[in-house]
Amino acid sequence: MPHYLDISQISIDFPTKNGPFRALDKVDLKIERGEFISLIGHSGCGKSTVLNIVAGLYQATEGAVVLESKEVNEPGPDRAVVFQNHSLFPWLTVYENVELAVKQVFKGSKSRAEIHDWVERQLELVHMSHAMHKYPAEISGGMKQRVGIARALAMEPKVLLMDEPFGALDALTRAHLQDALMEIQATLNNTVILITHDVDEAVLLSDRIVMMSNGPAASVGEVLKVDLPRPRDRLALAGDADYNRYRAAVLTFLHKKQAKSTPITAAKSTASHSETSLKKAVGA
Q: Which of 10-24, 104-118, 186-200, 255-269 has the lowest mean pLDDT?
A: 255-269
In a domain, 196, yes or no: yes
Whether the per-residue pLDDT at 243 is higher than 50: the answer is yes
Q: Which candidate, 144, 128, 132, 137, places its Cα nearest to that of 90?
A: 137
Its domain, for residue 278, covers: 35-43+74-78+157-282
Residue 169 and residue 186: Cα distance in Å, rounded?
A: 23
User: How much is the pLDDT for 260?
Assistant: 58
Question: Sheet containing 5-14: which strands, arranged edge to edge?
Answer: 21-31, 5-14, 62-67, 70-71
What CATH number does the domain containing 227 carry?
A: 3.40.50
Residue 247 — very low, low, confident or very high, per pLDDT cuts 50/70/90?
very high
In a domain, 83, yes or no: no
Number of structural domains the chain divides into: 1
Higher per-residue pLDDT: 84 or 132: 132
In a domain, 278, yes or no: yes
pLDDT digits (tens, 9 = 90+) for 207-240: 999 999 998 999 999 999 999 999 999 999 989 9
Cα dist. 120→132, 133, 158, 180, 209 in Å? 8, 11, 20, 16, 33
In a domain, 231, yes or no: yes
In a domain, 257, yes or no: yes
In a domain, 220, yes or no: yes
Q: What is the mean pLDDT of residues 111-121?
A: 94
User: How much is the pLDDT for 263?
Assistant: 45
Residue 88 and residue 108 in contact, taking contact as beta carbons nearer than 8 Å:
no
In a domain, 224, yes or no: yes
pLDDT digits (tens, 9 = 90+) for 259-283: 655 543 333 333 333 333 433 443 3
Estimate to the nearest angstrom the gap between the alpha carbon of 231 and the chain centroid: 19
pLDDT digits (tens, 9 = 90+) for 120-178: 999 999 999 999 999 999 999 999 999 999 999 999 999 999 999 988 888 998 999 99
User: How much is the pLDDT for 14?
Assistant: 94
User: How much is the pLDDT for 261?
Assistant: 55
Question: Residue 186 burial (CB < 10 Å; 0-12/13-18/19+)?
Answer: middle
In a domain, 58, yes or no: no
